Amino acid sequence: MGSLEQEIKELALELGFVSVGITTTEPLSWLEPIVEARVQAGLLSGLPWFDLERVRKSCRPRESWPQARSVVSLAVAYGQGGASLEIPALGLRGQISRYAGGDDYHQVVKHHARPLLQLIREHEAEPRAQLTSDSGRLLDRGFAHGAGVGWYGQNCSIIVPGRGSFVFLAEIVTSLHLEPDAPTPSDCGRCDACLRSCPTGALSEPYVVDSRRCISFLTIELRGSIPLELRPLMGTRIFGCDACQAYCPHNRKSRAALWPELRPSSDAALLPSLPDLLRLREDGFLERFAESPVLRARRQGLLRNAAVALGNLGDRAAVPVLREVLDDPDPVVRSHAAWALGQLGGASARMALETAARTEPEPEVAREIVLAFQR
């Protein structure tokens, strides 16, 4: 039998992970000041929980796991197989990011990693190994880079050699002293396709993302209203954005997810009907997206995004459902429906806005209605 490191890697690949590497729990001394500077510059201001204290801890595993000595970094594919461009939305439909087509990856990864976690714990003096995935306790990409799982793309995604960047990352933190792997050298060369593809200019320069302009942030994490100047740039994206990955040459050969739970159940899972979404009440929203990452946007966020998408489509067939949404109990949803009607224009849209203006109790929504009249 080979070394424990080899056994870990072989089992990880057998379980369906597409890349695995090992690094130490030494602090990410090269990355910590970079991320701190981004926080201080306001580039992550949309994520108030990710403050300087969180940066420090997520770069130093032993702050959370004093006995930790090694990190096993894992990548699992979620791509739909081969397509290099975003999936176009047809009719009154919106686009959902590829990663959200299946079940919530946090639970899926946890389930599939159990045998690997068990193997590592069997070799620990005290079974303390823990799995973490996109929880903020570790800078996943920093440790994936250090473990040789992939290199940093200019869009800040980790690109796995031969697999691309349509991957989820996870780590197992262990007290075992494991032989670390070397980082993978970058293979981006002079390519800047990801930077040029960003619809909002959130990728202002290589390796820098301004979360305040990132469509993934705007459609998933942002609570409340989307800035007016960014709404037209969102197109029909209602949950996440794949633009900077879809145009990356390394994703041209991306393969479909190995785990069925991560595959979309149908085309409708990634291209849902916008009118159907806008008619969802809270219980319907919770039922439809119970096992989906889309739940994170909450009903307010998803319906807000759907209204913006209809405004950007420019199809006046959307006026009737937007008129209905002007009576939605959520003022944020109503305000974005008003914006969308202003974008569509026409007599029916104007009549709907005039009717709403007479009874709207919320000042912010009333302001959006006034602005909609001015378009």
**Dist CA 211 CA 213 (whole Å):** 5
Q: Choose, from 51, 103, 134, 328, the residue flagged as catalytic.
A: 134
127 phi and psi angles, rounded to 5 deg: -70, 90
Integer angstrom CA distances of residue 269 from 93, 94, 266: 11, 10, 5
**Segments of the chain assigned E as strands:** 19-24, 70-77, 95-96, 130-132, 151-152, 158-159, 167-174, 237-239
**Dist CA 259 CA 14 (whole Å):** 12
**Dist CA 231 CA 336 (whole Å):** 9
134 is catalytic: yes
Task: Give the rounded distance of the alpha carbon of 206 from its chain centre.
Answer: 19
Task: Give the rounded distance of the alpha carbon of 209 from its chain centre.
Answer: 13
**Dist CA 148 CA 156 (whole Å):** 15
292 contacts 240 by C-beta, under 8 angstroms: no
Strand partners, 74: 20, 170
72 phi and psi angles, rounded to 5 deg: -95, 115
Q: Which residues contact 4 (CB under 8 A, 6 or more apart)?
A: 123, 176, 178
CB atoms within 10 A of CB 221: 15
**Dist CA 327 CA 306 (whole Å):** 16
Residues marked as catalytic: 134
